[in-house]
Structure 1
Amino acid sequence: MSGSDALGGFLEKWRARWPEWRLAEVFVPLEQRERVVAWFALLQEFDDILNIAGDPLPADAKLGWWGTELRDWAGHRSRHPLGRLLEPVEAPWSALADALPALVAARARAADGGAALAALAGYAQAVVAVEAAVLGGPRAEPRALAAQVLATRLAEAGLQAVPQARQPVDTEATAGRESAQREWAGELLAVWPARVEGAPARRMWAAFARHRLARFADGQLPRPASRWPLRTLWQAWRAAQG
């Protein structure tokens, strides 16, 4: 596989999870679109490592590899295909590398919502700092970014992602399991503003992610907003305008 094909594969993997973006990217300048998706694809790689099912050792090894890779990006050297678009950006890559081990600790079930957010605070701050360099514009708010990471974890890990304080008494009862997950979704929505800070691309992605979480908290399937094109365009435009 050529380097170009490998890069395209990572970009398409993110787009496949967020089909809304094919409509929303019209609000991103053409020359920035690939770099924006590359950045979000990198964050998806980290989400996947956080939410690994089964034996975590391969994912932990991959996380260690990413730490080395990001430090190399700080010296303008890269091996990963995403580095073609991201490594040239002057950003605090080494600080992000230093924050990655927090993802391993964040797999453990938190005592409550505050502890879950606190476990990702350092990682979120490092992401925000790099994102300001990659996307430009105002900085995102770390707490809102951490809430988005936790929303993704809930979607991927289910009850395992729910803090201990919201675990059902009977973990075998389907109704109790679903209720606990929806309650946790509601708690995340309460700390995640509907209108977030950050570059337009971040605001749009956050709007789509929050929309899915709100549907889940309301007892609906968390379907992509792209099923309703006009609504998606309106949502993206509002988010892009801030």
Structure 2
Amino acid sequence: MTDRASLDSFLAKWRAQWPEWGVAETFLPAAQRQSADAWLALRGELTEAAWGGDDPAPGAAKLAWWQEELAGWARGLRRHPLGLALQKLPLDWAALAASLPALRASRSPEGDRATALRGLAPFAQAQATLAARLFDAASPASAQATADALLAEWVLRLPERGVPAAGTDLPSLLALPPLRGGTRVERIHAALVRGRLRRLARGKAGPVPPLAALVAAWGAARG
């Protein structure tokens, strides 16, 4: 398989997991859509490794591999197909690599929500900073707001581990303000995550229906 075919395979995998993105990306400039796919696919690979599956060991090994890979991107090297789309971009890949231990530790956060958010802060800060640079935002979203959005994604992964999401404090998460500032890409994705959380709160799972996704993406795109 060629590098391009491998890259397309990873992008298709992410789109299959988030089919509502095909509606939501309407509110992105056309020039940003390919980079958005690659960036969100990378985020998906990292969070899936950190939070997916019922056994943490494979994910921890995968995150260790990604830490080496991203450090390599900072030196002009790449092995993963997503590097074909992202590695040459002038981003601080070393900072993202250095933040992955915090993401790994967030699989089983200890204490209350505030403690969980503090634990996620290094990864949230790196993610927000790189996204702002990649998508030409005036400034990154705050680390706290990004960590809130990440915590919502963490809840979505719980059923994969046999943990009922209904056992978490969904009303509290849904009462948080939506992601503001930063990039349109991150805001729209966070809005889709919230949409899925609302469905979970009603006992449903899976993608946000197209019309609801369109409305959520429109609101998030406005900032």
- Identify the residue that residue 144 of structure 1 maps to in structure 2: 145
Map of 1:119 onto structure 2: 119
1:197 and 2:181 aligned: yes
**Structure 1 unaligned regions, length at least 5:** 163-176
Following superposition, the deviation at residue 66 of structure 1 comes to: 1.0
TM-score, normalised on structure 1?
0.83
How big is the alpha-carbon RMSD for the aligned residues of Structure 1 and Structure 2?
A: 2.2
Residue 35 of structure 1 deviates from its aligned partner by: 1.0
Are residues 26 and 145 of structure 1, via their aligned partners in 2, closer, same or farther at CA, if it must alter by over 3 Å? same
Amino acid at match of 1:188: L
Identify the residue that residue 212 of structure 1 maps to in structure 2.
196
Change in Cα spacing, 1:179 to 1:47, as seen in structure 2 (3 Å) is closer
C-alpha distance in 1 between matches for 2:203 and 2:114 = 26
Cα drift, residue 159 of structure 1: 10
Displacement of 1:99: 0.8
> In terms of Rg, which structure is larger?
1
Aligned length: 222
What's the counterpart of residue 221 of structure 1?
204
Which is further off, 149-158 or 114-123? 149-158
* CA apart distance, 1:93: 0.9
- 1:194 shift after superposition: 2.5
Q: 1:223 to 1:55 in 2, by over 3 A?
A: closer
TM-score computed with the length of structure 2 as normaliser = 0.89
For the 8 Å contact 1:196–1:203, the answer to whether it is kept is yes
Contact 1:36 1:134 (8 Å CA) reproduced: no
Tell me the distance in 2 between the aligned counterparts of 1:67 and 1:81. Answer: 15
2:72 maps to which residue? 72
Report the identity percentage. 39
Residue 45 of structure 2 corresponds to residue 61 of structure 1: no
Q: Could you tell me how far 1:71 is from its partner in structure 2?
A: 1.4
Q: Which amino acid counterpart does residue 240 of structure 1 have in structure 2?
A: A
> Alpha carbons of 1:194 and 1:55: their partners in 2 closer, same or farther (altered >3 Å)?
closer
Q: Superposed, which structure 2 residues align to 1:17-166 within 5 Å?
A: 17-137=17-137, 138-158=139-159
Deviations 1:17-42 (A, max 9, x none): 21111112222222221111101111
Inter-partner Cα distance in structure 2 for 1:10 and 1:52 = 17
List runs of 5+ in structure 2 lacking aligned partners: none
